[in-house]
Amino acid sequence: MSSVLKPETSSDFNTHLAKKFKKNYDLSCSETNPIKNEKNCGNSEKLENLNRNSSNYSNALSFDSKNITTKDENSDSCENQRLEIINFNWRIITGENLKLRYAEIFSRSSSKHIMTRLEKEVEYYSGDLLKVRVYGKWHEIPRKQVAFGDDGLSYKFSGNCLPSKPWETCPIIFELKKCVESVVGYSFNFVLVNRYKDGSDHMGEHRDDEKELDPHTPIASLSFGAVREFIFRHMDTRGKNAKSNIQKKKIDLHPGSLLLMEFPTNRFWYHSLPSRKNVFGVRVNLTFRKMIKS
């Protein structure tokens, strides 16, 4: 059974979005809901083996959101430079229970500016908070990590529990949360930030299927810095007794890009960011999530 998104007419919805985003839009009142409204999401099509230069672009959603700002425009501080979201089209990637959207939402210059701020403003955890338990043994993770979120939220994985720092302790993270919320139309209460110093840092194959995560809110993955390859592998293709030969999906995650992993992707597909010998630059990735408060 395939869960290919069906093509739908979108002109009314795109006109509505275009009108909405043409106005000067203050992120503090984010209210748009382009993704949640699946019915109206536009010309979805099946795209495989994504490549940045592929001509197989989806015209699913294209709107002018140039005037999104996160700070007072009149401020002359570098930190208060506008975070501009550019015109973009979602690329839709589907497969067996796989549902992804990918778009480069920030310009190259905004992405560089954001990366500089992330490097300056984000303080990563150290010590035991950077360890995971695998088969009873503790290992340091091959990257740096920190989390931000609503009061009291923490992220439990591989034997560890990562507490979240309050949003207000890191302005760039909070500004990016507002940007992402305005683009996807969902609100997030937690973000995991991963910093890869170069291609030797990586993340192993896993699913984000913890019970604390609201499965119906997409995970929104925002990337800055070096381009890295991200790989999806269907659960039935793993191990010696694989039941299926469904092809892997590989996506190059570019700076300023947003990847949405929508339900039920995380139930069925593992994802990883493998190490790469030919990558020398730093990369920072933010995965915005909705945790269920207990």
Ligand X SMILES: O=C(O)CCC(=O)C(=O)O
Q: Which residue positions form the known binding site for 2-oxoglutarate?
A: 194, 196, 206, 271, 283, 287, 289
SS3 state of residue 207: coil
Interface residue with ligand X, options 41, 153, 192, 226 (CB under 6 A):
192
Interface residue with ligand X, options 104, 175, 201, 208 (CB under 6 A):
208
In 3D space, the residue among 178, 209, 187 whose CA is nearest the CA of residue 36 turns out to be 187
Instruction: Tell me which H or E stretch contains 273.
Output: strand 269-273
Is 22 or 267 the residue whose CB approaches ligand X more closely? 267
**Min CB(277)–ligand X separation in Å:** 18
Is 27 or 170 the residue whose CB approaches ligand X more closely? 170
Q: Which residues contact 135 (CB under 8 A, 6 or more apart)?
A: none
In 3D space, the residue among 168, 37, 183 whose CA is nearest the CA of residue 106 turns out to be 183
Q: Which residue ranges make up the annotated binding site?
A: 155-157, 194, 196, 206, 209, 271, 283, 287, 289
**Footprint of ligand X on 244-273 (CB under 6 A):** 253, 271, 273
Q: Is 93 among the residues that bind ligand X (CB under 6 A)?
A: no
**Min CB(139)–ligand X separation in Å:** 17
Q: Please report, in angstroms and rounded to a whole number, the separation of the first and last CA atoms in the chain.
A: 34
Interface residue with ligand X, options 182, 194, 257, 265 (CB under 6 A):
194
**Min CB(188)–ligand X separation in Å:** 13
Q: Is 221 among the residues that bind ligand X (CB under 6 A)?
A: yes
**Min CB(219)–ligand X separation in Å:** 7
Alpha-carbon gap, residue 191 to 154, rounded angstroms: 10
Alpha-carbon gap, residue 26 to 46, rounded angstroms: 34
**Min CB(145)–ligand X separation in Å:** 9
Residue 68 phi/psi, 5-degree rounding, is -65, 125
SS3 state of residue 231: strand
In 3D space, the residue among 147, 151, 176 whose CA is nearest the CA of residue 164 turns out to be 147
Residues lying near ligand X in the complex (CB under 6 A) are found at 192, 194, 203, 208, 221, 230, 253, 271, 273, 285, 287
